[in-house]
């Protein structure tokens, strides 16, 4: 699943391609992946409900609007129009946003035709992603983004400390909880914990102040480095220009169980932590 660096890479390529463009037409090809005001907030694809979708109004999806900014918080993208509507995109497991003038690819669910002849498309083979409309940037912040934890790219020591205090859960579990820290997934939790020499099974509330400070610093550092590399392409991730990331070539622990630690040459171990396959170095990240 794309994490913060991948989503930020998509945001940056989108910003270069669509800011300043006008949306000529919006085509919704798969209504269940779209959430409009009055629909279930997670869309109909993942919501068990007998209710009917509200009437589709393409203006809520930026039709005949002018794109002013492309923002990101955690793993979510917001495309902001000049008339106030905001389109929020969650990539889910296999979702992508592409901008080109090529033929429509398979599994395209929403398509925005731009005034320069290009099309921005939301493509998602497994349909775990979401395209949601919000009447304004302020309401998006109030009803969605305010429910998430601090953004991992800028998280500070005090914010991470608040997320950890009193928690009996593992620190890996805390990092994966988007209501506590927004943007971290399995890849970058493992990488940041390795960089800060913290065992992923450690109880979050028992971390020392120095450990929390080091972890916050390494989360920011890992995120920045991964963004510079365009994110990690493990399977099919691509940015809006169709380019793969290459941070996977720099992974220290993720996906390297059984290999030697790059720091001490000890064999890396793996197990299930927070219901996710987790890799760490038993020497560099000793449990206490």
* pLDDT tens track for 101-142: 889 999 999 999 999 999 999 999 999 999 999 999 999 999
Q: Which of 3, 8, 159, 191 is catalytic?
A: 3
3-state DSSP assignment of residue 170 = strand
Q: What is the pLDDT of residue 51?
A: 77
Whether residue 30 sits in one domain with residue 133: yes
Structural domains in the chain (count): 2
CA distance 36 to 24: 19
Whether residue 96 sits in one domain with residue 184: no
Tell me whether residue 15 is one of the annotated catalytic residues.
Answer: no
Q: Which domain holds residue 245?
A: 157-280
CATH assignment of the domain containing 203: 1.10.8.50
Whether residue 263 sits in one domain with residue 196: yes
State how far Cα 215 lies from the chain centre.
Answer: 20
Q: What is the pLDDT of residue 279?
A: 98
Residue 211 lies in a domain: yes
Residue 9 lies in a domain: yes
* pLDDT tens track for 257-272: 999 999 999 999 999 9
CA distance 261 to 283: 9
Whether residue 139 sits in one domain with residue 28: yes
Q: What is the pLDDT of residue 179?
A: 98
Report which listed range, 4-13, 44-53, 227-236, is most confident: 4-13
Strand order, beta sheet including 130-134:
34-35, 130-134, 86-90, 76-81, 67-73
* pLDDT tens track for 152-202: 999 999 999 999 999 999 999 999 999 999 999 999 999 999 999 999 999
Helix (H) or strand (E) holding 270: strand 269-273
Q: What is the pLDDT of residue 84?
A: 84
Residue 285 lies in a domain: no
Q: What is the pLDDT of residue 281?
A: 98
Q: What is the pLDDT of residue 97?
A: 96
- C-alpha closest to that of 133 among 75, 52, 53, 74: 53
Q: What is the pLDDT of residue 236?
A: 72
Q: What is the pLDDT of residue 219?
A: 98
Whether residue 131 sits in one domain with residue 29: yes
How many Cβ atoms from other residues are within 10 Å of residue 263's Cβ? 15
Tell me whether residue 52 is one of the annotated catalytic residues.
Answer: no
- C-alpha closest to that of 245 among 253, 233, 260, 254: 233
Whether residue 23 sits in one domain with residue 142: yes
Tell me whether residue 159 is one of the annotated catalytic residues.
Answer: no
Whether residue 110 sits in one domain with residue 167: no
Residue 56 lies in a domain: yes
Please report which confidence band the pLDDT of residue 13 belongs to, taking 50, 70 and 90 as the band edges.
Answer: very high
Is the pLDDT at 285 greater than 80, yes or no? yes
Q: What is the pLDDT of residue 286?
A: 87
* pLDDT tens track for 203-222: 999 999 999 999 999 999 99
Q: How far is CA 138 from CA 163, 185, 221, in A?
A: 25, 26, 30
CA atoms within 13 A on the CB side of 145: 23
Q: What is the pLDDT of residue 39?
A: 87
Whether residue 234 sits in one domain with residue 128: no
Strand order, beta sheet including 23-28:
23-28, 108-114, 119-123, 96-100
* pLDDT tens track for 62-72: 999 999 999 99
Rg (CA), the chain: 20
Tell me whether residue 83 is one of the annotated catalytic residues.
Answer: no
Whether residue 79 sits in one domain with residue 189: no
* pLDDT tens track for 241-260: 787 787 888 899 999 999 99
Is the pLDDT at 44 greater than 90, yes or no? no
CA distance 11 to 3: 12
Please tell me what DSSP assigns to residue 61: G
CA distance 221 to 243: 23
Q: Which of 17, 72, 75, 98 is catalytic?
A: 75
Beta strands in 45-171 (DSSP E): 67-73, 76-81, 86-90, 96-100, 108-114, 119-123, 130-134
The residue out of 88, 113, 147 marking a domain boundary is 147
Whether residue 166 sits in one domain with residue 88: no
């Amino acid at each position: 699943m794309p994490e913060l660096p991948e989503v930020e890479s998509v945001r940056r390529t989108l910003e270069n391609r669509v800011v300043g463009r006008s949306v000529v037409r919006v085509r919704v090809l798969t209504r269940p992946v779209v959430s409009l005001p009055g629909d279930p907030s997670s869309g109909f694809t993942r919501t068990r409900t007998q209710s009917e979708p509200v009437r589709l109004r393409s203006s809520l999806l930026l039709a005949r609007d002018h794109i002013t900014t492309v923002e990101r918080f955690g793993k979510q993208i917001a495309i902001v129009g000049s008339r106030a509507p905001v389109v929020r995109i969650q990539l889910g497991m296999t979702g992508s946003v592409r901008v080109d003038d090529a033929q429509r690819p398979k599994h395209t669910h929403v398509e925005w035709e731009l005034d320069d002849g290009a099309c921005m498309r939301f493509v998602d083979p497994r349909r775990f992603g979401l395209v949601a409309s919000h009447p304004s940037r302020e309401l998006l912040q109030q009803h969605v983004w305010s429910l998430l934890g601090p953004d991992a790219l800028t998280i500070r020591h005090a914010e991470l400390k608040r997320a950890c205090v009193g928690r009996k859960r593992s620190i890996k579990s805390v990092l994966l909880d988007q209501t506590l820290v927004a943007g971290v997934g399995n890849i970058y939790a493992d990488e940041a914990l390795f960089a800060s020499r913290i065992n992923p099974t450690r109880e979050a509330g028992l971390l020392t102040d120095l450990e929390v400070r080091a972890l916050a610093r390494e989360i920011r550092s890992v995120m920045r480095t991964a963004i510079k590399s365009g994110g990690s392409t493990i399977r099919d991730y691509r940015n809006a220009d169709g380019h793969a990331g290459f941070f996977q070539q720099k992974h220290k622990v993720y996906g390297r169980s059984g290999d030697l630690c790059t720091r001490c040459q000890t064999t890396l171990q793996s197990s299930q932590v927070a219901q996710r396959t987790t890799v760490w170095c038993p020497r560099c990240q000793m449990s206490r």
